[in-house]
Structures are given as structure tokens and as C-alpha cells.
Amino acid sequence: MNKCHVAKELSAYLDQQLPEGARKKVEEHLKTCSFCAGELSRLRQLSEKLKAWQAPELGPFFEAHVRESLARGETQRGEVKMKKKLFPILVPSGVLAGVLVFLLVGLLLKSGYYGKVITPPVTVTEKPRVTETGITPQPGVDKKHLVTEPAVSPQSGIAIPSLKTGAQYLGKEKSEGIWGTGHYESNYMTRAYDASIATESYSQMPGGPWGYTAYPDFNTEQYDRIYENDYLQAKDNPLSTFSIDVDTASYSNVRRFLYGNTLPPKDAVRIEEMVNYFTYDYPQPSDKEPFSVTTEIAGCPWNAQHQLVLIGLQGRKMEVKDLPPSNLVFLLDVSGSMQPENKLPLVKSAFRLLVNELRPQDKVAIVVYAGSSGLVLDSTSGDKKDLILQAIDKLEAGGSTAGGEGIKLAYETAKKNYIKDGNNRVILATDGDFNVGITSDGDLTRIIEEKRDEGIFLTVLGFGMGNYKDAKMEKLADKGNGNFAYVDNLLEAKKVFVKQLPATLFTIAKDVKIQVEFNPAKVKAYRLIGYENRMLKKEDFNDDKKDAGEIGAGHTVTVLYEIVPAGSGEDFAGTDPLKYQEVKVKPSDEMLTVKLRYKEPNEDVSKLITRTVTGKEKEAQASNNLNFASAVAEFGMLLRDSQYKGSSSYQSVLERAKLAKGDDADGYRAEFIRLAEMAQILTR
């Protein structure tokens, strides 16, 4: 019996008008459905309020007037006289009925009862009152420009003229409108207001039954500021050291903005994640190493005086049947902010895809969190798909977001069911909007770092928009020895959970670090494109206690350096000559040396791989790998309006991307070309 059908029968159940069989079915459903149980509770409260309500007395004057009208009507005959007889009764009765309807509607609103409706855009012609509140605004929002009225009813879309108190802002306070308090913890009603706007539309952003009411340009999405890597002179800074990154969240998030006909925020564009969204034609490792290393040099498309160096890693591919057994914990955010179709409903559809890929030797537990956390399904064998899918299907969103408590319970569950030499992993699906309990990035990452050292890794999947917390989720995945992806549609879920399942679930090398040494005799200056939040100190390369990135089975990692040749006349800021030591350059044909350190998944001591690159390796024509990777990087610099974009243009991006499209069996590169065309139109 589905939820909608039962919800329609709740009134009859409350009035004891259902047959015995139907009544028992409703009672069984109420044991497992929090939504219908809440509906029944609200209906019961409404019924009690109506029973307690006393109809107002008519008063002596009104009563006498009715009696007099009735007395006059008894002496009259005929159709016309009968109308005159009824008129004095119908008019006051209509007035009384109107009063009853008005009071009933008021009680419905006050009780918090609502139906599952989609709020239409409502235009408020009254200029919102700008008031001083005690709420700390989001950074960049003037405290005086917080709207507390008018607001929009989350049930009906009606413009409400006032609120009793300051409305909820970023989940810090509950809203107290005339529809009641405490039921709308995820309904952010206080919004930033531009004092220059006199009339504005409250438009529904994608949401649950009520959505979010907000000015069109308002959201609480959070991205860390990116300070792009600058050029460094090889003679002063010969070593470039960083952690590899296989995250892809930035690309699919940028795609979401472009499909919405808007350019993404600059700090949502992480170029390395955009480049690494795509696979490249790198060779499989031929020896015992978990990944191969490919290098290439070619001219730089956006600066004819510079060169590009590509470093490509290809993780060893594995078939799903060859993967070790998995101990998975699905950690699913079911808070109120997850009600929109592109959040919890999409989460459920995505994890159904993963469940269908499970083998009998795999096992899954499901932990959810909202105002508190709970174990929905204990660890269950992968061959019991119906049981796992049933648990997923029953999930409903509501309440605040105690993400920290959910993370702790998920790790405890994973540890309890730990598989030695297996894949032990928590898969977190959320919009990242943690607002109850442990919420600080520092406290959350400490929990994850501790569990990471116990061999339990973390994969983070971002969903939704409007309150999407990109920065927080990237930190969690980084510290959890896992990867971070953003799922904006079901095809992306298929890419993560079906097409790239081994890469998503199984780590073949952890703490992978790259250190490149540039020869000052060949390279005047260099710039690492992207990886800004993955930079390491040069001493960290040999420190096995220093955490770094992971490579999953079949993952590719692509790195691009923009090189200024030694003979260039360009000037770069440098340091004064050293007083106590002299730097001498050894004669060599080598341009650079690439060193990589990695650990086996169950080991704590790193292994070293070394490759050298000479200027003779420069190709007359760049490969498809370098052409496409450079097109994606150039696209990212244009979206960021990078100071290093040189002569970059969307036309240049499109020409190289089309040239290097290749086989493209899944259509990902063709989609990139469409996105570049859309961005080109949006910037005209």
C-alpha cells in the first residue's frame, strides 16, 4: 500500500469509518511510515482543536431578528412569499458559514497541516520590510538587509503579510509564521534583500513539497576560495610537490550550472577535477606497479611562446568479478533539506543502481541521519537485493541535519563488519548542509582521519543545489582516503556506480604523491595548472606519515604544467643572489624528472617510481590526450577568467576538443563540446 493512498484514508481511519481489513492495513503501514504517522498526528491535533472550539453565541439582537423573520414567514403564501421567508434565514446562515470556514482555514494553517503541493511562483507587490535582526548573516550579506516579511506560506504559496518573529536563517532559528512553529526546520525563509529592489518575485527553487522561497540570486552554496598557482622560477624553486586528485565533482557541478543557463561561480571551477573527469588513452601498467606513467611535451595553445608538459597515470583496470569482497555502509542524508527531486529521490535511484551490481560476497548496511542518526539496515549480504532495495525505498526526508553523528555511527557499523583484505568503505550521500551536532570541518575531518587509519575509506557523493556545501564535502573525501563526485542526474549516477564501479569502490594505491624537479638549464619558469588545494611542501614527499590522494582501479590522473623555456625573455619576480652559497646547474639534456610515491592499500611504507623527460620528447603534433586535456584546462581558465588564460578562447577550446574527440563510446566528450558551446553563448 503506497503512502499517497494511505494518506487519503487517514481521516476515515481517525473517524473509525474503515472496514476491519482496511483499518489493519493502515495500522501496519503507520508502523513503518513516519510521514503518514506525522499526518495522522496532525489530523488528530486538528480534530481535538475543532472539538474544543466553541461557536460564538448569536446574541439577543440576532436571535430576535431571526425569530421575527420566521414569524412573518408563517403568514405568507406562494412562491414569492416562500423566497421572502427563506431570505432572512439564508443570509445570516451564510454569514455564519463564512465565519466557520474562515476559522477552520485559520486552524488548518495554525496546526501546520499541509498537503503535498508544488508552490507556484508568487509575486509580492509590497516592498519587503528590511529589519535589524539578531541573526548572523552569511558572509557578504549586510545584516540590515535580512528580510523577515512578507514571507510565503510553504503550504499554499500565499504571500503572508507578517511573521511573529524573525524567520529561520541558515537553519539557526525556527520560523514562526501563522501556520505554526517547529515543522519547517529546513524551510529557510529569511533571505538576502537588495534595498534597490522595490518589487520582487518569490520563486520556488527546486525543493520538497514546499520548496525554498528565495530571491532568484540567493543561495547558501559554499565554495573555498581558489588562489591559482603562479609561475615559479626553476632556479629558485626547482621542486613542485603535490598530492594526486581523482575527484570529478567540479565538472558535473559546472555542468549543472551551464544546463541551468548560467555560468558557474569562479571558485566552483577546479581545473584538475574537470580534466580528470575524462579517461585518456594511457597504456595499462606492464609490470607489478599499480599504475603506468606517461609523459608528453607540446606547444601551449594559449601562449605560443610556452610549452605544455603532460603527466598521465593509468590505474590498473579490474573487472567487478575480480574485486575483493566489499563491506559497504551507505550513509544517507534524509534531513529536510534533502526533499527536492534532485536530492533524496535521486539518491535512492542512484543507490538502487549500485545494489544491482552487488555480489553475494559483498555486504551492505544503511545508516541515515536527520535530527539524529540511526541504523536502517544492518549488514546484509549482496544477494538479498530485495531486502536492501526495500530499505532504500522506505526512506523519507525530514528534520535537521546531524551529519557528524551519522558519520560516527557509519564508521562504527563498518568496523563491526570489517573484512580483512577486503574493501571497507563508507559511501556518504548528502548536500553537505550539516547544521546539528558536530558541524565544524575540523571536528568532522578528525573523526574521518582516525577511521581512515583503521582501513575504512570514505567516498563522498554530493547532491542538489541551493544549499550545496562543496567545500565541506571535498575536505571530507580528501581526509577519508576516498573520492568526491557530484551527481546531478541519473546518468552521472550510472557513471559512478556502474561504468566506473571498480574505480569508485576499490583503491589500488593510496597516498600517491608527485614531485617534479625542473632543470633550470631547460626551464626558466613553470606553472602547475590546478591542484591548488593539493599542494605539499617538498619535505612531505618523503614523509610516509603525510596523507595524499588515492587511485582506484582503472582511474586515470592527468597533470598539466605550463613551461616557460630557459631562453625566454620574460621577466619573473625572483630573490636576491644568495650570500653564503652558490647554485650550480649540471649539464643535462633532461628537462625534468618525475618522481612518484605510493603505498599499497594495506601497507604503510611507500614505494618510489621515477621517470625522466627530455626536450627531445616534444612531438611535432600533440596527441589526442594532450589536445583534449588542454582544451578542458583552457575551458576551465575561461570560466574562471584566469589571469593566466593568455589568448584562450572558446573557439580554440572547441576546435581542439572536436579534433581530439576520438571514439567517445559513452558520449562524455561530445557533451563537453556542447557545454563549451553553451558557455560561449552565455559570455557573449
* 275-295 pLDDT tens trace: 999 999 999 998 789 999 999
Closest Cα partner for 364 from 389, 384, 386, 382? 382
Q: Contact at 8 Å (CB) between 387 and 376?
A: no
Residue 128 φ then ψ, to 5°: -60, 140
Closest Cα partner for 633 from 227, 263, 273? 273
Closest Cα partner for 487 from 506, 468, 507? 468
pLDDT at 361: 96
DSSP letter string over 603-667?
-SS-EEEEEEEEGGGB-SS--HHHHHHHHHHHHHHHHHT-TT-TT--HHHHHHHHHHT----TTS
Angle between helices 403-416 and 441-452 in degrees, nearest 10: 10
pLDDT reading at 608 higher than 60 = yes
Cell numbers for 273: 577535477
pLDDT reading at 62 higher than 60 = no
Cell numbers for 453: 587509519
- Highest mean pLDDT among 404-413, 442-451, 556-565, 573-582 belongs to 556-565
Helix, strand, coil shares of the chain, percent, nearest 5, are 35, 25, 40
Q: Contact at 8 Å (CB) between 452 and 481?
A: yes
pLDDT reading at 117 higher than 50 = no
DSSP letter string over 570-581?
------PPPSS-
**Pick the residue with more confidence: 303 or 481?**
303
Confidence bin at 439 (pLDDT 50/70/90) = low
3-state secondary structure of 465: coil
pLDDT reading at 179 higher than 80 = no
**Three-state secondary structure along 21-73?**
HHHHHHHHHHHHCHHHHHHHHHHHHHHHHHHHCCCCCCCHHHHHHHHHHHHHH
pLDDT at 617: 63
Q: Count of CB atoms within 10 A of residue 128's CB?
A: 22
Superfamily of domain 320-505: von Willebrand factor, type A domain (3.40.50.410)
Closest Cα partner for 447 from 434, 462, 463, 431? 434
Separation of CA 60 from chain center: 65
CA distances from residue 544 to 452, 476, 632 in whole angstroms, order as listed: 15, 21, 33
271: Cβ–Cβ under 8 A, 6 or more apart, which residues?
A: 529, 530, 632, 633, 636, 637, 640
Give the lowest-confidence range in 115-119, 448-452, 547-551: 115-119
Cell numbers for 677: 558551446
Cell numbers for 34: 513516519
pLDDT reading at 125 higher than 50 = no
Q: Contact at 8 Å (CB) between 607 and 583?
A: no
Dist. CA 185–CA 188, nearest whole Å? 8
Burial of 92 (0-12, 13-18, 19+ CB in 10 A): middle
pLDDT reading at 86 higher than 70 = no
> For the range 229-232, what are the long-range contacts, defined as Cβ-Cβ under 8 Å and sequence gap of 24 or more?
229/527, 229/528, 229/529, 229/530, 229/531, 229/532, 229/535, 230/527, 231/525, 231/526, 231/527, 231/562, 231/564, 231/572, 232/525, 232/526, 232/527
pLDDT reading at 346 higher than 60 = yes
pTM (predicted TM-score): 0.69
Give the lowest-confidence range in 34-38, 45-49, 174-178, 453-457: 174-178
CA dihedral 594, 595, 601, 605 (to 10 degrees): 180
Burial of 95 (0-12, 13-18, 19+ CB in 10 A): exposed
**Pick the residue with more confidence: 345 or 400?**
345
Give the lowest-confidence range in 144-148, 294-298, 507-511: 144-148
Q: Contact at 8 Å (CB) between 528 and 536?
A: no
pLDDT at 64: 55
> Would strands 363-369 and 326-333 be described as parallel, antiparallel, or unpaired?
parallel
Dist. CA 229–CA 299, nearest whole Å? 20
Give the lowest-confidence range in 360-364, 439-443, 481-485: 439-443
Burial of 215 (0-12, 13-18, 19+ CB in 10 A): middle
- For domain 232-245+269-316+508-576+584-682, give the fold: Immunoglobulin-like (2.60.40)
Closest Cα partner for 152 from 141, 144, 162? 162
Stated as kind and residue range, the H or E segment containing 427 is strand 423-430
Stated as kind and residue range, the H or E segment containing 461 is strand 457-462
**Pick the residue with more confidence: 630 or 19?**
630
| Domain residue ranges in the chain | 3-111, 116-218, 232-245+269-316+508-576+584-682, 320-505
> Would strands 191-192 and 457-462 be described as parallel, antiparallel, or unpaired?
unpaired
Confidence bin at 181 (pLDDT 50/70/90) = very low
Dist. CA 431–CA 447, nearest whole Å? 19
Q: Count of CB atoms within 10 A of residue 173's CB?
A: 17
Give the lowest-confidence range in 22-31, 301-310, 360-369: 22-31
pLDDT tens per residue, range 619-666:
668 999 999 999 999 999 999 999 999 999 999 999 999 999 999 999
Confidence bin at 111 (pLDDT 50/70/90) = very low
Give the lowest-confidence range in 70-74, 247-251, 671-675: 70-74
| 535-557: b (≥16 Cβ within 10 Å) or e | ebeeebbeeeebbbbbbbbbbbb
pLDDT tens per residue, range 368-401:
988 667 899 999 999 999 999 999 999 988 766 5
pLDDT at 106: 57
Q: Is the dihedral of CA 528, 531, 535, 541 positive or negative?
A: negative
**Omega before 577 within 30 of 0, i.e. cis:** no
> Would strands 507-518 and 239-243 be described as parallel, antiparallel, or unpaired?
antiparallel
pLDDT tens per residue, range 227-277:
999 999 999 999 999 999 899 999 999 999 999 999 999 999 999 999 999
pLDDT tens per residue, range 315-330:
999 999 999 999 999 9
pLDDT at 525: 96
**Pick the residue with more confidence: 4 or 385?**
385
Dist. CA 366–CA 79, nearest whole Å? 73
Cell numbers for 91: 443570509
Q: Contact at 8 Å (CB) between 561 and 237?
A: no
Q: Which amino acid is at 373?
A: S
**Pick the residue with more confidence: 107 or 571?**
571
3-state secondary structure of 443: helix
Cell numbers for 529: 595548472
Q: Contact at 8 Å (CB) between 661 and 673?
A: yes
Identify the residue whose cell numbers are 576546435: 655
> Would strands 484-486 and 457-462 be described as parallel, antiparallel, or unpaired?
parallel
Q: What is the share, in percent, of the chain residues with pLDDT greater than 70?
A: 70
Q: Contact at 8 Å (CB) between 406 and 369?
A: yes
pLDDT at 271: 98
Identify the residue whose cell numbers are 588545494: 533
